[in-house]
C-alpha cells in the first residue's frame, strides 16, 4: 500500500504532485507492447431478469480500474439487456433459470482463461 503524504496541503501544487505520484504508483504502467488481455481478464457470474445492472456495474468497474477483457456469464433472459449497456462487455448467456439446461461446465472451462472471478452480483434472492 502506498504511503499518502499527510504533511503538505493537497491544495498546494507540491502536495498535489505528491498525491498524484502516490496514486499513479498503485496502477501498473501501460506498455505499448501489451496486447488485449495483458492488463487483466475478469469474469463476472451473475445477473437475472430483474437485476441486470449489478453484473454490469461490477464488470464496468473492472474495466475502469484497468482490466481489458471482461466476460459476463448470466441467464439468457438478462444477456441482451446487459450487452446493450456496453459494447466492451463479452456476454455469455449460459446460466440456467429454474430446472433448465445447466451449462456450468462451459463456464468452468472459461475460468481457466481469466485472472479473477466475481460471483453473485444480481443473481437475486433465490439463486
The maximal CA–CA distance of the chain, rounded, in angstroms, is 61
Quickly tell me which residue has 485472472 as its cell: 115
Residue 34's pLDDT is 85
Asked if residue 124 lies in contact with residue 45, where contact means CB atoms within 8 angstroms, the answer is no
Q: What average pLDDT score do residues 20-43 get?
A: 84
Dihedral pair phi/psi, residue 67, rounded to 5°: -65, 150
Extract the C-alpha cell encoding 19.
498525491
Q: What is the pLDDT of residue 65?
A: 85
pLDDT at position 17 is 85
| Residue 102 banded pLDDT, cuts 50, 70, 90 | low
Domains of the chain: 41-119 (3.40.50)
Cα–Cα nearest to 125, from 54, 42, 73, 43: 54
Region 11-39: mean pLDDT is 79
Q: What pLDDT sits at residue 43?
A: 97
Alpha-carbon dihedral sign for residues 96, 101, 104, 109: negative
What pLDDT score was predicted for residue 3? 60
Categorize the per-residue pLDDT at 31 as very low, low, confident or very high, splitting at 50, 70 and 90.
Answer: confident
The model's confidence at residue 2, banded by pLDDT at 50, 70 and 90, is low
Amino acid at each position: 500500500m502506498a504511503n499518502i503524504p499527510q504533511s503538505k496541503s493537497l491544495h498546494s501544487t507540491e502536495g498535489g504532485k505528491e498525491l498524484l505520484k502516490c496514486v499513479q504508483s498503485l496502477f501498473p504502467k501501460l506498455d505499448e507492447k501489451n496486447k488485449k488481455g495483458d492488463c487483466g481478464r475478469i469474469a463476472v457470474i451473475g445477473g437475472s431478469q430483474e437485476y441486470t445492472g449489478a453484473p454490469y456495474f461490477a464488470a464496468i468497474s473492472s474495466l475502469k480500474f484497468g482490466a481489458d477483457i471482461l466476460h459476463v456469464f448470466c441467464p439468457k433472459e438478462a444477456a441482451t439487456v446487459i450487452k446493450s449497456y456496453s459494447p466492451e462487455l463479452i456476454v455469455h448467456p449460459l446460466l440456467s433459470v429454474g430446472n433448465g439446461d445447466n451449462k456450468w461446465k462451459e463456464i468452468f472451462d472459461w475460468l481457466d482463461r481469466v485472472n479473477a472471478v466475481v460471483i453473485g452480483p444480481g443473481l437475486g434472492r433465490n439463486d
